[in-house]
Chains A and B, each alone.
Chain A
Amino acid sequence: MEFTFEFLAQLFMTSLGHWYVIIPAIIIGLVIGAIPGLGPANSLIILLPFTLALEVNAAMAFMVALYCSSRMGAGIPAILVNIPGTAGAAATPFDGYPMTQKGMAQQALTLCFVASAFGGLIASIFSIFSLPVLARAGYYFHSVEMVVVMLFGLTLIAVVSSGNTLKGLIGGMFGLLVGAIGPDVIYSAPRATFGFLELYDGVPVVAVLIGVFAISEALLMIEVESILTEAGKIRMAAQSAWAATWEGVRMALKRWWHIVWTSFIGLGIGVVPGAGAPIAAFVAYQQSRLFSKQPDRYGTGHPEGIIAPESANNGVTSGSLIPLLTLGIPGGSTAAVMLIVIQFHGITLGPRIFLDRPEFPYGVLMGMVVTYLFMVGTILPLARYMARVTLIPTQYLAPVIISFTLVGAFAPRAYIFDMGVALVFGVIGYIARKTGYQVSAILIGVILGPYVERYLMRALRISEGDPMVLFSSTLGNVLWAFLVLSLILPPVIERIRKR
């Protein structure tokens, strides 16, 4: 089969024909994405009997739609109550929540939806045309480069997420060390487990996410009667139902170029296995601020501060499927569940798929295109109703957040212990927030900790323990240079701007 317009049109029509699985998957994905702890991988595992029973293309359309919409759903609580549904949305509250406090939740949600949908759409269309080329990118990233990519990501997060770089780095390094609790990668010797058997598998990341974001936010929230400021309440009461949604659409479309280039950042980072949405969102946020004419407005409810992370983390979705579709290597847990379904249907992924069955990998990406098109129509009308959450007094909101998110901490491993971990990190997060340490840096450190160790050990084993291996590759050294620049440049630029 040749790669022609007819071929693409046929794939588009086939994908469109899967509307009956795509629309329910979008709704499920939005809900599970919005609840911390209920990621797409868990939900797909629960729904395995359903997806295995479906025809393979419909099953893939369902899984891809659920994956994409859960990414978008994670931005909803990040904007409304300052609690990201997943780590990929950890940069969204920086500007999303201040907009909510100003009574502009509906506009912020609309910005998030438009940026997510168009960011994802652009990235998936580009992926269709460049699938075989993008697949090669993964080959250039070996263990050394991966260590640097992750440290670079963490450094950016530390610089971006806190007004004080030193505080940001302390948070990030603390997170890396917490992420290294549990077994080492070679001998599985337990480290820093405080005597708890439950930590022998490592620290539960979902419980940490819920602790540092949700529990600490609930503890802070009870200081005020409403999450809206007085001006925000007046604005919410004054604005008409649909006007705010259209204002959000206009804000987003006016910044169309911003959506485009940040989605490419997401796509590029998504292709690298293991890097993922959190790094993409923070890199996009940092780049957006760096090149902005109004960098001081970031963190105060600036539309571009929502567009950048949301467009990038949805750009990651198509990027993260590329290693799976071209090489048969799942880039993450959701892709691993997809691989199970694909294998169940007797399809072998790898380079030969482009000769034997090209309609399959291109069809999956076309399914993503159709999903994003459906998503705009499905979710935009809901923004005005979702924004009402901000009107609920905190005396009702805070207890519900605690009880429901603790369930989210329990869900992945079914350990009551993990609820306790969430509470401990809730207190740590509360202390951090109260004293100006950004919890995002801690969380991303915890997530990256095990990955950094795995790649670091692999590099050191290959070099027989020589640490200079970390400076042995050209690409790695370029990335080291970027890392150093990311630490040095912001204060220098700041100083120049002040002059």
Chain B
Amino acid sequence: MIEKPNSSRKEKKPKGDELVFPLMALAFAVYYLYTIMDLSWEAQVNGVLFGSVLIFLIAVFLLKSFIDRQRGKISFKFKAFVFKSSGQITRVWFLLLAIGYVVVIPWTGFTLTTFGFLVAAMLLLGVRSPARLFAISLAMSVSGYLFFITLLKTRLPAGPVERLIDWLF
């Protein structure tokens, strides 16, 4: 936003975003305390101690934010997470691709899923050369196979590629 040079009114800082994390932490702390309600004191002590300190700190933070808002220093508008720009939509798709990677990998295996994910993600992020897309994705998934599966013996999910290689060698 371009600030007007003659504007005498002081701009309120949008701080609504900063409440997201404490509210999320508060919800978790309440859930944690709820799950330990019927347990023995030994299982409760840690949660009660740190949960109550966390809730206290969040309460102080919220109180401070409300006082600043009342004084006109800040507003509770959101700035960081507003879905206006194309960049935010790309990020959501990127995250969805990552979720897809985790969902699909048990069936398609590490090598094929990594190849597919890299092609799709790079395409999403603006790589348009088919040769680059194919070459980089292939190189990375093959090196991943060699490093993680062959060298480090990581028990990554096996798919058609891993089964074929096992069958061949």
Contacts and interface: CB of A to CB of B under 8 A. Distances in A.
A161 B165 CA distance: 47
A180 B50 contact: yes
A353 to B, nearest CB: 33
B40 to A, nearest CB: 6
Contacts of A426: 95, 98
A178 B90 CA distance: 30
A435 B64 CA distance: 16
A436 interface: yes
Nearest to B15: A435
Contact of B45 (A396, A410, A456): A456
A304 to B, nearest CB: 30
Given A43-B152, A427-B95, A170 B21 contact: yes
A403 interface: yes
A51 to B, nearest CB: 15
A419 interface: yes
A151 to B, nearest CB: 10
A184 interface: yes
Contacts of A420: 102
Contacts of A400: 118, 140
A414 B99 CA distance: 17
Interface string A162-189: 0000110111011011101100111101
A180 B101 CA distance: 29
A170 B57 contact: yes
Contact of A192 (B20, B32, B90, B121): B32
Interface string B82-117: 000001001100110011011001100010001001
Contacts of A380: none
A229 B17 CA distance: 26
Contact of A187 (B43, B54, B140): B43
Interface stretch (B4-12, B66-74, B153-161): B153-161
Contacts of B152: 38, 43, 46, 411
Contacts of A434: 17, 80-81
Range, interface on chain A: 35 or more
A186 B122 CA distance: 49
B58 interface: yes
Contacts of B18: 167, 435-436
Contact of A465 (B41, B106, B121, B148): B41
A434 B54 CA distance: 21
A396 B25 contact: no
A169 B50 CA distance: 11
A420 B60 CA distance: 32
B130 interface: no
B61 A167 contact: yes
Contacts of B42: 184-187, 457, 460-461
26 contacts: A166-B61, A176-B54, A177-B25, A177-B28, A177-B47, A184-B42, A218-B94, A219-B94, A395-B122, A396-B122, A396-B127, A399-B118, A399-B121, A400-B118, A403-B114, A403-B144, A407-B156, A414-B154, A420-B102, A426-B98, A431-B20, A431-B21, A435-B17, A437-B21, A456-B45, A460-B42
Contacts of B101: 402-403, 406, 419
Contact of B24 (A406, A428, A453): A428
A407 B140 CA distance: 13
Interface in A382-416: 394-396, 398-400, 402-404, 406-407, 410-411, 414, 416
B20 A191 contact: no
A379 interface: no
B150 interface: no
B40 A215 contact: no
Given A189-B43, A191-B35, A46 B25 contact: no
B68 to A, nearest CB: 13
B53 A416 contact: no
Given A184-B42, A431-B21, A460-B45, A191 B58 contact: no
A222 interface: yes
A144 to B, nearest CB: 14
A414 B118 contact: no
Interface string B106-150: 100010001001100110011100000000100010001000100
A223 interface: yes
A82 B99 CA distance: 22
A38 B46 CA distance: 30
A267 interface: no
B34 to A, nearest CB: 9
Contacts of A171: 21
A189 B20 CA distance: 30
A174 B54 contact: yes
Q: Which residue, of B29, B41, B45, has the highest number of chain A Cβ atoms within 10 A?
A: B45
Contact of B36 (A173, A191, A428): A191
Interface in A68-122: none
B39 interface: yes
A423 interface: yes
B102 A399 contact: no
Q: Which residue, of B20, B31, B121, has the highest number of chain A Cβ atoms within 10 A?
A: B121
B86 to A, nearest CB: 11
A432 B53 contact: no
